[in-house]
Amino acid sequence: MGIIQISLSVSVLILFIAVLRVLFIYKISRNTIMLLWKLVMLRLLIPFPIPSVSFNFNGWNKNFDIASMAAKGLANKQILNSNTVYQVGDVSNKFSESVTQYINPFLWIWIIGFGISFIIFFKAYRKSYSFLRESLPIIDDITVSEWMGEQKLKRKVSVMVSDKITTPITFGIWKPKIVLPKNMNYQNQQQLKYVLSHEMVHIKKLDSFWKIISILVSCMHWFNPFVWLMYTFVNCDMEMACDEKVISIYGESEKSDYALTILYLAEQKSAYTILYNGFGKKPIKERVRAIMRYRKKSIFGISLSLAIILVTVLFLMLFPGNGKSLNRNEEAIKTVLEQIFTCPNQEMIEVYNNMFSRIQTSPLEENINNEIDKKLYEIYQPYISSKWYESFVMYFYSYLYVYSTTDGYEIAVDHIDIKRSDTIPTNYSFMVYLNYSKEGGEKNHTKIEGSAQFLEEKGKISYLQLFDKNLKLELMSSRN
């Protein structure tokens, strides 16, 4: 389950950003931090590794890929107990089936965890939403109408009032609504404008959308406390980034007035605002402090921000990955198949000839097959898992011989299509396209289907199946 890998490697990044936001609290803008969180959240949304541009830590992945660990355990048992390993035309999927059954418990645990988290959020959402939708439109307020006239936004924004909330709340993505509490001083025009501008910034930055994303991500990674930590950071930083923007609009001279507005509104008890951008209740002290210490960022701050953003993007693109191991698996399949289906295979022919001549000269010599075994080991061992190697040689022996050394035939691999299973990432299916011709004859094409499994190590086949009757029969009959 790649999601665990991603979750864990991104946790490192979360920690990194968390430290940065404290260290450079006044040097880099909160908006920069928000950008970082948004990048991280987007990455966490995608539950599988990005291939090709990725590395992996071999040891790490082994330990944390719980599903494949479990599958491995069962797979080993299967191999040792089974007597019917490979037969031509054996289309048995028994192996994959039993592995699937074993993986499911972990998937189920995740689903349950996700479901519970989701339900908790959903209930809170419904509670808030039920009284927000009963708000009434504001009428006859000059300040509000004036302010609305000044706003330029594609989406239509409505300002409402409700007697059930005590701090302003903004919600809605396509039809944003700002809901103001009834018990607010509407005579104080300056204050009203600050509030409206603050909410407007939330709307412009699509904060409602990002809040939903943060909740979705927290549910998906319910098992990861770092992601929950990030969730609290996101809520806090979102408000502060908004404050920053408001001050940059009104100018640093109005910092204290704005801070006072926040304090005043914070004195009211606030409603449950999980899904909506309130005026922010919790870290009021932090916010006021940040506002008062707001300053345009220095060149140092800006370059630092850019550097951090770059590092973050690089990290997210590179870790974690199945990229390399994906290629290693495919590489193993390709190399093994190319070795098997290259005829005449000069190396093998040489070895067999040596063996034959030795049999002629000293027929009683022991270990005559040693040379062949050594050669096969040399060629195939790097791509076959150590546990299965013996079986591989045993069952493929005759076929290796036939496919690669049959007189008068030329066989070559045209190309190989390899597909990784969607459900079981350690299973691959492939199609080998071969060109072959009998000496002097016309060129023939054929394709052979097969599958490979990598339950031991990445890059080492732990089980191989080839579904071919025709070519082998033809080759064998021509040998006779």
Binding pattern to other proteins, positions 369-408, x when CB under 8 A?
----------------------------------------
Q: Which is nearer to other proteins, 134 or 365 (CB)?
A: 134
Q: CA dist 9 to 114, 162, 163, 456, Å?
A: 20, 44, 46, 23
Binding pattern to other proteins, positions 146-185, x when CB under 8 A?
------------x--xxxx-----------------x---
Q: Which is nearer to other proteins, 58 or 130 (CB)?
A: 130
The only residue of 87, 130, 386, 444 in contact with other proteins, by rule CB under 8 A: 130
User: Distance between CA atoms of 233 and 25, rounded to whole angstroms?
Assistant: 13
Which tokens belong to 101? 């059954």
Edge-first strand order for the sheet with 136-137 is: 136-137, 158-162, 177-181, 169-171
Q: Smallest gap, in angstroms, from Cβ of residue 174 to other proteins?
A: 14
Q: Smallest gap, in angstroms, from Cβ of residue 96 to other proteins?
A: 48
Among 199, 201, 230, residue whose Cα is nearest residue 217 = 230
Residues whose CB falls within 8 Å of the CB of residue 273, separated by 6 or more in sequence, listed in order = 128, 167, 169, 281
User: Distance between CA atoms of 37 and 20, rounded to whole angstroms?
Assistant: 12
Q: Name the E strands within 292-376.
A: none
Q: Which is nearer to other proteins, 144 or 432 (CB)?
A: 144
Q: Which is nearer to other proteins, 132 or 201 (CB)?
A: 132
Using the rule CB under 8 A, give the single segment among 135-143, 196-204, 380-388, 427-435 that binds other proteins: 135-143
Binding pattern to other proteins, positions 11-50, x when CB under 8 A?
----------------------------------------
The only residue of 134, 146, 257, 267 in contact with other proteins, by rule CB under 8 A: 134
Edge-first strand order for the sheet with 463-467 is: 409-420, 427-438, 443-453, 463-467
Among 418, 428, 413, 431, residue whose Cα is nearest residue 467 = 431
Using the rule CB under 8 A, give the single segment among 105-113, 134-142, 235-243, 367-375 that binds other proteins: 134-142
Alpha helix ranges (H) inside 46-65: 58-64
Q: Which is nearer to other proteins, 130 or 232 (CB)?
A: 130
The only residue of 22, 80, 137, 299 in contact with other proteins, by rule CB under 8 A: 137
Q: Which is nearer to other proteins, 134 or 267 (CB)?
A: 134
Q: Smallest gap, in angstroms, from Cβ of residue 134 to other proteins?
A: 4
DSSP state of 343: B
Q: Note whether 238 and 250 are within 8 A (CB).
A: no
Residues engaged in binding other proteins (CB under 8 A): 130, 133-137, 158, 161-164, 182
